[in-house]
Structure formats: C-alpha cells, structure tokens
C-alpha cells in the first residue's frame, strides 16, 4: 500500500501537543511511520513536499520533517502532466501547492493521500479527476489497521 502524507501530517508531531486532536493525530503519524519502517506501507515523498519543507524557517523543525521523509521509498516528481492536473484542481478551488501535492499523488496512483487539513480534505473529496483516495490521518489508521 502506497501512502502520501501531506506537509500538514508531517508537521503534526512537531506541533504543540496541547489539544486532544493534535495528540491523536501525532500518534497516527507515528503509527504510519512505524508501518513504513516495518515495510507494511510505502511512504511517498515528492518534490512538492521537499519544496515546502525547504521553506520552514525553523532549522530543527525542518530537520525533523526531512528525517520523517527519509523513510520514503518513492519520490514523486512534478511533471508537465502534474502541472496541468494541478491547474484543473486549482480551478476546482484548491490552492497552488495543495493542488500540486494532489496532482503528483493522483498521477502516481497512490492508494491514499492523507491530510489533517480539514479544508483540503473537504475540497479534495468533492473534486473530480482524482487518481487516489483522500483520507484523514485517523481514518487511515483505522482503515488499514495500523
């Protein structure tokens, strides 16, 4: 099974753990990463994720994000086809970076595009042209029994 965790997911363990939802989603990220290390799940990285992470001003946070992504077995590249698909996703209401994330994952036909961004989750689930299933962190853990 191939999973794409968007940057929101990767940042969750680095967020302040004061809210119950953040703590539970952090545990979900750790469960996914444990499954990746056990080779039960394939984690997909992308040029879009690397770009986003490169723009994180905090060195420790950036390093921790890259450390999580170092477990990825695949790198999804931004192709002309991905840019074209991303434009169609933008026309359906997504921001440019979210559209590129989703386009790369869709074209690679990952099994699950995972986000903890409620707005992105709602918008993406109402869109056409997707090549992957959009899922929340918590539902991913339940659905694949992590």
**CB–CB of 74/45 below 8 Å?**
yes
CATH for 70: 3.40.50.1010
The domain total for the chain is 1
pLDDT at 135: 96
Chain-centre distance of CA 106, in angstroms? 12
pLDDT at 129: 77
Residue 77 belongs to what domain range?
2-144
Q: Which residues of the chain have a pLDDT value below 70?
A: none
pLDDT at 80: 98
pTM of the predicted protein model: 0.94
Please give the sequence-ordered ranges of beta strands (E in DSSP) within 21-132, or none if there are none.
42-46, 74-76, 112-115
In three-state form (DSSP H/G/I as H, E/B as E, the rest C), the secondary structure along 107-123 is HCCCCEEEECCHHHHHH
pLDDT at 145: 80
pLDDT at 1: 95
């Amino acid at each position: 099974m191939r999973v794409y965790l968007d940057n929101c997911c990767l940042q969750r363990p680095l967020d302040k753990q004061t809210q119950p939802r953040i703590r539970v989603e952090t545990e979900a990220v750790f469960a996914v990463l444990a499954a990746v290390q056990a080779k039960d799940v394939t984690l997909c990285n992308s040029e879009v994720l690397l770009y986003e992470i490169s723009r994180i001003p905090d060195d420790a946070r950036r390093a921790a994000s890259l450390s999580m992504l170092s477990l990825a077995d695949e790198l999804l590249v931004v192709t002309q086809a991905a840019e074209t698909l991303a434009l169609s996703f933008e026309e359906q209401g997504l921001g440019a970076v979210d559209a590129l994330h989703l386009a790369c994952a869709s074209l690679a036909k990952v099994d699950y595009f995972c986000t903890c961004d409620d707005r992105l989750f709602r918008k993406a689930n109402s869109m056409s042209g997707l090549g992957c299933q959009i899922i929340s962190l918590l539902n991913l853990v339940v659905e694949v029994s992590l």
